[in-house]
Amino acid sequence: MRPAELPPPATLSSDEMPSVGKIAATGGLSLEAGMDLAQQNNCLACHTLDKKLVGPAWIDVAKRYRNVAGGEHKLVIKVSTGGGGAWGDMPMPAMAPAVKEEDIRALVKFILSLEQQ
């Protein structure tokens, strides 16, 4: 899917926001701020915190990359340029330049900070 083909940004009601008791952001952006930034940049069209949607659940991404040397940099590159094969057949479209580099970096740090409670 190309960025132009993505559905419009999802709008989450407060009922749909994940429970802080279930998943928490442990550094950088708070859970609420991270989800707001993700919503602004249309990330929620393909991802959720704790369930596979089109792309992997962010908690699973955090588990896979949090302790990998260069994991943060690898994810910034993947989000910026797109890629595929790491999580199945559906490729991730390139988000740059539609999403600002500082937002991509903030979102990746947010994702890597996620932990299940």
The string of pLDDT tens digits covering residues 27-81 is: 789 999 999 999 999 999 999 999 999 999 999 999 999 999 999 999 999 999 9
Give the separation between CA 103 and CA 110, rounded to whole angstroms. 10
Q: pTM, whole model, 2 decimals?
A: 0.80
Q: Could you tell me the two tokens for 88?
A: 């199945």
Is 78:93 a contact under the CB 8 Å cutoff?
A: no
Which pLDDT score, from 0 to 100, does residue 37 have?
96
Q: Is the pLDDT of residue 19 over 90?
A: no
Half-sphere exposure (Cβ direction) of 94: Cα atoms closer than 13 Å: 6
Which pLDDT score, from 0 to 100, does residue 1 have?
41
Which pLDDT score, from 0 to 100, does residue 57 have?
95
Half-sphere exposure (Cβ direction) of 59: Cα atoms closer than 13 Å: 16
Q: Which domains does the chain have, with CATH numbers?
A: 22-104 (1.10.760.10)
Calculate mean pLDDT across residues 73-101: 93
- Alpha helices per DSSP H over the chain: 31-40, 58-65, 71-81, 101-113
Give the separation between CA 9 and CA 22, rounded to whole angstroms. 24
Which pLDDT score, from 0 to 100, does residue 73 have?
96
Strands 23-25 and 114-116 come out as antiparallel
